[in-house]
Amino acid sequence: MQPSIEELGDSALLLQFGERIDADLNARVHAAARSVAAMALPGIVELVPGYASLAVVFDPATWQGDDATPAQRCARALRGAFGTASAKADEPTECIEIPVCYGGECGPDLDQAAAHSGLTPQAFAARHAAGDYRVAMLGFAAGFPYLLGLDPALQQPRRANPRTRVAAGSVAIGGLQTGIYPRELPGGWNLIGRTPLALFDAQARPPNRLAAGQRVRFVAIDVDAFNAALR
């Protein structure tokens, strides 16, 4: 099934594959992004995957023509990327490991989250670390990864009272999603741990440690290892 394509202003198109959070649907989005990238079409500036959509930013000057608008010409070319794309084709095989110190000052909501799930804090952390995650998209703030693959038993309602400050590196759960705060931000997700890794560096190329479509797994570390990694 081909996605619907709509214009986003005069320099972007939105390819819509569905309207829900679903791992298979998100895999189609990333397969489409790989297909478009492989086409090496001229004037494609950026590909921005979402949960169920793909934004394609293009240079209108590259797609000028007498027969249609730049957006219409670009949309016609993009349709060639679909029909043969497979969500399993050319998937990234590398798994990025993210060290996490669970509970205590690093995860002040772990005990409450574990109680909500009927687990001990240790069992909750172990099940979270055992997950096979995929970066569905980056959003909310630069470098913030929304991760699919959370064990349904670990699902948590968002906090009734969001925090005005969440420490950089905080690993959190909101609903059926887990994610990592790349820098100090406000937030209403449940904080279960923290990684010492910097997820976003504006001076680095690329600035994001994680990219949409990558596989991720968490590795539990103790507080001494966490503090040593921060030095």
pLDDT at 154 over 80: yes
| Residues whose CB falls within 8 Å of the CB of residue 5, separated by 6 or more in sequence, listed in order | 13, 14, 15, 16, 75, 78, 79
Please answer whether residues 52 and 27 qualify as being in contact, where contact means their C-beta atoms are separated by less than 8 angstroms: no
Contact 97, 89 (CB under 8 A): no
Judged against a pLDDT cut of 70, whether residue 25 lies above it is answered with: yes
Count the residues in the chain: 231
Res 88 pLDDT > 90: no
Residues 175-215: pLDDT tens digits? Answer: 999 999 999 999 999 999 999 999 999 999 899 999 999 99
Per-state percent for the chain, helix, strand, coil, to nearest 5: 25, 30, 45
CA nearest to 46, candidates 215, 208, 197, 217: 208
Q: Can you give the pLDDT at residue 86?
A: 47
In the chain, where does the domain assigned CATH 2.40.100.10 lie? Answer: 95-230
3: DSSP letter: P
CATH of domain 4-81: 3.30.1360.40
Predicted confidence band of residue 67 (pLDDT cuts 50, 70, 90): confident
Residue 228 confidence class, pLDDT cut points 50, 70, 90: very high
At 128 the three-state DSSP class reads helix
Q: How confident is the model at residue 81 (pLDDT cuts 50, 70, 90)?
A: low
Who's near 141: CB < 8 A, 6+ residues apart?
Answer: 181, 182, 183, 185
Q: What top-level class would CATH report for the domain 95-230? A: mainly beta
Chain region(s) in the chain for CATH 3.30.1360.40: 4-81
